[in-house]
Structure 1
Amino acid sequence: MNVQNTVELTKATKAAADWWRGGVIYQIYPRSFQDSNGDGIGDLKGITQRLGYIASLGVDAIWISPFFKSPMKDFGYDVSDYCDVDPMFGTMEDFKAMLDQAHALGLRVMIDLVLSHTSDQHPWFSESRASRENAKSDWYVWSDAKPDGTPPNNWLSIFGGSAWQWDSRRQQYYLHNFLTSQPDLNFHCPDVQDALLDVARFWLDLGVDGFRLDTINFYFHDKQLRDNPALPLDQRNASIAPQVNPYNHQDHLFSKSQPENIAFLERLRALTDEYEGRACLGEVGDAQRGLEIMGEYTTGDKRMHMCYAFEFLEKRALTASYTKHVFDQLEAKAGDAWPCWAFSNHDVPRHASRWGLSDAATRQHAVLMMCLRGSACLYQGEELGLPEADVAYEDLQDPYGIEFWPEFKGRDGCRTPMVWAAQDEQSGFSTGRPWLPVSAAQSERAVDRLEQDEASMLHHYRRAIALRRAHPALMSGAQTDMAQSGPILSFLREDAAEQVFCAFNLGSEAAEITIPDGNWQVIGEELGSVDGAGKMTLGAAQFCLLAQDKG
């Protein structure tokens, strides 16, 4: 595909203020994308070098995981300065150059704001922990011990153990939903909210096009610090934390997802709306009520533009029945919600391996994502069909994996360096030793190899994204008549001009489906879409896409 044509098409599409509705967002994990200086860690200049490649995919935007100053205990999700770049990633000038180049190529830039907690090395926390009387004494969640010295309640950390850490300076516990080095901010304090909105304004003024909001439902906690109830065994869901983690033993009614969050989200949206064409994407981490919260946070036009939950990031494969169940639940609990779907990201095993997909099924799933109602996130390397990397214990960097090894291997397997050139040193990622080993199995699918093969997964993803762009009904149209017939999932997408019929065999056996009456024309033949009329048979991993005008 001609890169310049793709860029011009993307520029034209992005002229609309609601570019995000049905948009395709490419997630960059900066440590692992491209190293420009040979220190083994990806950086902002490296991202700038590869923006032409990203634009060639036809996506609307990039989402960059945190690059702020940080001690890197959780690889940037522990921020020590929200308004500066960590030296390992470069400088603020490097960021501005990257932003300018992205915009020149027609790409929007979303950055990852981690507002629920900071690093324990953030100046705010240093001041807060110094005494119980200082100006920031209530900027974090502090509580006295129970009379017996134990934590104030039973809340658990996602990374294992109690969510409370004793601090000898104040002789109190502080809340940390993640690592002990990631203290939670106290959103019940108005000054905290104002300070975080100032952070958002700082980046909006610089020209960023929006935010991916980490752990968006963790902002507020229950003021009364009530214990979370136990969760029945049959309701435990390991989509947020691994099965071996006792975090799954609780129903987290009070440690997150509090009603006060809505008002803050509306303040954040109002700020964002002061700037044209900006968007907020929230991550909802809740195994029991994810879709419901997604609906609450995106309903109307005063809250978040879009959110994603973890339904399609689970181990459970996308069968026809499960996919229909998710959309049925979404309709019942959050009919007005605008979802953003992802199959892979920096926190879960890559979906080609997680679901055990064949090459044909991986291709089919790419097309399915481009046809479902909602926006879409692609994770770096997904377009290459990369499998999960096998990282040896001695090479692990993720504290999550180290804590729960070997039952849970952590997140390093999806965070290994991007593979650009199969025969180059470190597959073109770096001239030095990478922070995580380059995967030999992934190198076989390096960009330079797949570029040369028009039938490759890379070109397939480009064609799938182009199909979505060519049919606005697939981007932002209504979705109706979703049905499951054995292994086949079918549904209609339509707008004022066109109707598209989509059918996917998500099983391992051939099955028959009935095509609705109409003057249908097959689309997506270059992707593998099969033509049909009346009753037709779809083999395993096959799909049928048909379109007709509504005039």
Structure 2
Amino acid sequence: MEREGPESENPAVLAADPEWWRGAVIYQIYPRSYQDSNGDGIGDLGGIVSRLDHIASLGADAIWISPFFTSPMKDFGYDVSDYCDVDPMFGTLADFDAVVERAHDLGLRVMIDLVLSHTSDQHPWFAESRKDRTNPKADWYVWAEPKPDGTPPNNWLSVFGGSAWEWDGRREQYVLHNFLTSQPDLNLHHEPVQEALLDVARFWLKRGVDGFRLDTINFYFADKYLRDNPSLPKELRNDSIAPSVNPYNHQLHLFSKNQPENLEFLRKFRAVLNPYNAAAVGEVGDAQRGLEIMAEYTSGGDKVQMCYPFEMLQPTRLTAPMLVETFARMRAAAPDAWPCWSYSNHDTVRHVSRWHLTDAATKLYATLLVTLRGSLCLYQGEELGLPEAELQRDELQDPYGIQFWPEFKGRDGARTPMVWVTDNASGGFTSGKPWLPVKAPHLPLSVAAQTGEPASMLSHYRAALALRRAHPVLRTGAMQDISATGDVASFRRSGDGEIFCAFNLGDATTEVALPAGKWTAIGAELGSQTVGNGRVTLGPWGVCLAKRD
């Protein structure tokens, strides 16, 4: 590592609670699109500082900031060229320190996005590694000999389309890239690579961060023998990881990710976190075994604290039977596993559009989310009910969308700027031209327009998060008797008290029986129905929340 970070001088230190993450609500900030402070049309760290009050008023416990590190921005920061500095477009290390200080003043923990599976091809590590086969960093990336006919060493595919291997004439070898060709994969089988990445984590922990979101956590290791992936039958293909037009879905990715060696590295990573009471949430990108991998990585108390699988990020709307199946699979894999649920993020179509939700349905799903066992991630603008922005081909920035347009329009529709006010064309995001356009349908949904309106989506999210805070059993209690009857999902949260939850995820009125005993309705501000005679009638998208007396 090039340098050490200073110990944080931040005077605002939150309570030293090693369990702060359990049941926490984490608000994701996509920094390019949150708030611009200097008029260049790109959001930055100074802008984040100026808008942290909004997140605190929402009732979140922590923020997760997507990458702001030095980068050529081929994949908008997920291609890192310096892990220990801030890209000038976002500010400076001093600006980052200001984010930490202000967040802590407001009672918000700070998590940052670490991309440890790959770097940019402009990272100094790769510049040295590609020079020849004998330099000190020759083994820091996944290099492989071609087959005798000159073709790639195996059949692995890139998430962004085509072969996962790129020829390098300097070494006369192929280098692995699970994403863009400019994002070569690090070789974590090589111990010095692991130590360098752990040093990166230490650098930021010393600056005062409270944890990390770990990008593509199950991609850290590739099969050391580089065996071919088997094909996946068409009927089993799932486009939650890649769009259906991408041949990536034609394989079962048995050897290109999800390797057992990752468990020991995650134990090393946890050992770095523990002295700081820091936490990590991993992104598990796997369409077939996401829940099981999440359980494996979070069970036992010695690996990462949380992971989020893609079960609630998939194109198909979450139904009552799917909810039951999801928790049954998780329980079977590891009863102590700890998920981090989310409906939307910077890589997916916003769930309001993906699931074709009405306002009533969007509010119902928000209430459902805050009652689930696990921690939660909210994506900026989710609390406003923002739909996916409809962009034209010439407005795209995302290389993924450019590659597969028009069948797949990429990720830019979920990455357009946050809308703070209604009365200017950029929604208060910038005084310049925004890097992605602010679309007219978003402006009436701005923070200013919804603040103080009791029936607004923003008011509903604030009330939902307040309910979770007011009832600790919703944050940390057990989740029992999960059942589906038609469109109705119901369960009990038990521990410090007991709460019964029932959700009608459909358009037909239905009647629900409560468990035996005396119950009092809670959550009236969320539309929770009155309880009487042990039964409750739920209209379309209706909810019942009741506390045992």
- 2:230 paired residue number: 229
Deviations 1:257-310 (A, max 9, x none): 0000000000000010021x3101000001001011001100111101000000
Which structure 2 residues correspond to residues 18-57 of structure 1 after superposition, within 5 A? 18-57=19-58
- 1:360 paired residue number: 360
- Aligned amino acid, residue 247 of structure 1: Y
Q: CA deviation at 1:535?
A: 3.2
- 2:78 paired residue number: 77
Q: CA deviation at 1:13?
A: 9.7
- 1:512 paired residue number: 511
State the alpha-carbon separation in 2 of the partners of residues 380 and 231 from structure 1.
35
Give structure 1 stretches of 5+ with no counterpart. Answer: 1-10
- Aligned amino acid, residue 419 of structure 2: V
SS in structure 1 opposite 2:111? strand
Q: CA deviation at 1:537?
A: 2.2
SS in structure 1 opposite 2:48? helix
Conserved 8 A contact 2:520-2:531? no
Q: CA deviation at 1:425?
A: 4.2
State the alpha-carbon separation in 2 of the partners of residues 17 and 230 from structure 1.
43
- Aligned amino acid, residue 209 of structure 2: V
Which structure 2 residues correspond to residues 98-497 of structure 1 after superposition, within 5 A? 98-275=99-276, 277-495=277-495, 497=496
Judging changes above 3 Å, is the alpha-carbon distance between structure 1 residues 60 and 12 closer, same or farther for their aligned structure 2 residues? Answer: farther
Q: CA deviation at 1:17?
A: 2.5
- 1:499 paired residue number: 498
State the alpha-carbon separation in 1 of the partners of residues 213 and 367 from structure 2.
24
State the alpha-carbon separation in 2 of the partners of residues 243 and 13 from structure 1.
45
For normalisation by structure 1, the TM-score amounts to: 0.96
State the alpha-carbon separation in 2 of the partners of residues 294 and 440 from structure 1.
39
State the alpha-carbon separation in 1 of the partners of residues 51 and 18 from structure 2.
26
- Aligned amino acid, residue 443 of structure 2: S
- 2:3 paired residue number: none
Conserved 8 A contact 2:312-2:318? yes
SS in structure 2 opposite 1:328? helix
Deviations 1:418-450 (A, max 9, x none): 000100241100011111000111111011110
Deviations 1:324-365 (A, max 9, x none): 111111111232210000000000011111101110111111
- 1:58 paired residue number: 59
SS in structure 2 opposite 1:16? coil
- Aligned amino acid, residue 301 of structure 1: G
State the alpha-carbon separation in 2 of the partners of residues 511 and 332 from structure 1.
31
SS in structure 2 opposite 1:300? helix
For normalisation by structure 2, the TM-score amounts to: 0.97
SS in structure 2 opposite 1:338? coil
Judging changes above 3 Å, is the alpha-carbon distance between structure 1 residues 12 and 175 closer, same or farther for their aligned structure 2 residues? Answer: closer
Give structure 2 stretches of 5+ with no counterpart. Answer: 1-11
State the alpha-carbon separation in 2 of the partners of residues 536 and 323 from structure 1.
21
State the alpha-carbon separation in 2 of the partners of residues 268 and 54 from structure 1.
28
- 1:537 paired residue number: 537
Q: Would you say how many aligned residue pairs link Structure 1 and Structure 2? A: 537
Conserved 8 A contact 2:342-2:377? yes
State the alpha-carbon separation in 1 of the partners of residues 191 and 535 from structure 2.
61
Deviations 1:481-513 (A, max 9, x none): 001111100000011x31000000001211221
- Aligned amino acid, residue 261 of structure 1: N
- Aligned amino acid, residue 491 of structure 1: F
Conserved 8 A contact 1:425-1:431? no
- 2:7 paired residue number: none
Conserved 8 A contact 2:14-2:107? no
State the alpha-carbon separation in 1 of the partners of residues 458 and 389 from structure 2.
19
- Aligned amino acid, residue 471 of structure 1: H
Conserved 8 A contact 2:519-2:531? no
Judging changes above 3 Å, is the alpha-carbon distance between structure 1 residues 12 and 370 closer, same or farther for their aligned structure 2 residues? Answer: farther
SS in structure 2 opposite 1:475? helix
Conserved 8 A contact 1:35-1:429? yes
SS in structure 2 opposite 1:95? helix
Q: CA deviation at 1:15?
A: 5.8
State the alpha-carbon separation in 1 of the partners of residues 183 and 41 from structure 2.
25
Conserved 8 A contact 1:43-1:90? yes
Deviations 1:46-87 (A, max 9, x none): 000001111101100000000000000000000000000000
